[in-house]
């Protein structure tokens, strides 16, 4: 395969080789744009509910079938009470509990003072739902043990929030990473190879 490409480039005029590589740049930009768009949706989905942890119960409305996520939000470098409560969501009409899936990638977003971390994802159809924080734990026993051994001050519970956001399949989030990498290589590689074509393909 390498020999085939080498022979192909050797028979092409240098101008065409330059055009070929420079054409990789807009293709790379296209991939990078859509890769970033996919990743942004994982972090910045529309907020359906934001409530204080001390409130314990919150209500939100879903208007379209899709994937949604539950996030914790609090002060940076503070110990959160994830091991002190379990999270449940119920359909208000039927009181049926919605199955929650642990977030595999646990996307997070920080600013200078607060941070957000995705805890769960779930599927929901149109309707009114109730989020309840009940006794239990939202982390594994191993994570709970590690959290207790970390010497951090506890977060101010009055500033500790639980959010429900629009989200997407975690598979799309995983795909967004290689798409961004491919896009970056297309832009940089296309530019560099195009500029050095006369030296590489004499």
CA distance 95 to 104: 27
Domain count, the chain: 2
Q: What is the greatest pairwise CA distance in the chain?
A: 73
Cα–Cα dist 147/152, whole Å: 9
Task: Report d(CA 48, CA 69) in Å as an integer.
Answer: 10
Clarify whether residues 74 and 14 are in a common domain.
Answer: no
d(CA 127, CA 20): 52
> And the tokens for 175?
């795909």
- Residues 19, 94, single domain; the answer is no
**N- to C-terminal Cα distance for the chain?**
20
Which pLDDT score is estimated for 2? Answer: 52
Q: Which of 2, 14, 27, 6 is nearest to 195 (CA)?
A: 14
81 and 107 share one domain: yes
Same-domain status, 158 and 72:
yes
Residue 185 half-sphere exposure toward CB, CA atoms < 13 A: 6
The domain containing residue 59 runs over which residues?
47-166
Instruction: Look at residue 68 in the predicted model and tell me its pLDDT.
Output: 95
**22 and 60: one domain?**
no
pLDDT of residue 142: 46
- The CATH number given to whatever domain includes residue 63 is 2.60.120
| Average pLDDT of adjacent 10-residue blocks, the chain of 202 residues | 54 73 88 84 86 94 94 86 90 94 80 86 95 82 53 81 88 81 89 77 64
Same domain for 54 and 136, yes or no, is: yes
Q: Are 24 and 113 found together in one domain? A: no
Of 81, 186, 66, 78, the residue nearest 121 (C-alpha): 66
Same structural domain, 103 and 147: yes
Mark whether 54 and 140 lie in a shared domain. Answer: yes
Q: 158 with 109: CB under 8 angstroms?
A: no
Same domain, 37 and 72: no
Tell whether 31 and 58 lie within a shared domain.
no
Q: Cα torsion for 10, 11, 15, 19, to the nearest 10°?
A: -80
Q: Is there a single domain that holds both residue 133 and residue 194? A: no
pLDDT at residue 109, as a whole number: 78
């Amino acid at each position: 395969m390498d020999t085939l490409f080498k022979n192909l480039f050797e028979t092409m005029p240098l101008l065409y080789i330059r055009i070929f590589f420079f054409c990789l740049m807009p293709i790379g930009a296209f991939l990078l744009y859509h890769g970033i768009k996919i990743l942004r949706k994982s972090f910045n989905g529309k907020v359906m509910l934001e409530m204080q942890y001390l409130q314990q119960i919150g209500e939100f409305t879903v208007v379209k079938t899709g994937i949604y996520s539950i996030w914790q939000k609090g002060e940076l470098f503070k110990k959160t009470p994830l091991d002190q409560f379990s999270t449940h969501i119920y359909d208000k009409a039927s009181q049926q509990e919605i199955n929650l899936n642990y977030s595999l990638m646990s996307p997070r977003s920080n600013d200078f003072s607060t941070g957000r971390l995705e805890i769960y994802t779930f599927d929901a159809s149109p309707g009114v739902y109730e989020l309840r924080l009940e006794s239990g734990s939202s982390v594994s026993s191993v994570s709970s043990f590690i959290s207790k051994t970390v010497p951090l001050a506890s977060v101010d519970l009055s500033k500790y929030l639980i959010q429900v956001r629009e989200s997407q399949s975690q598979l799309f989030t995983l795909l967004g990473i290689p798409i961004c990498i491919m896009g970056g290589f297309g832009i940089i590689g296309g530019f560099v190879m195009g500029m050095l074509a006369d030296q590489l393909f004499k």
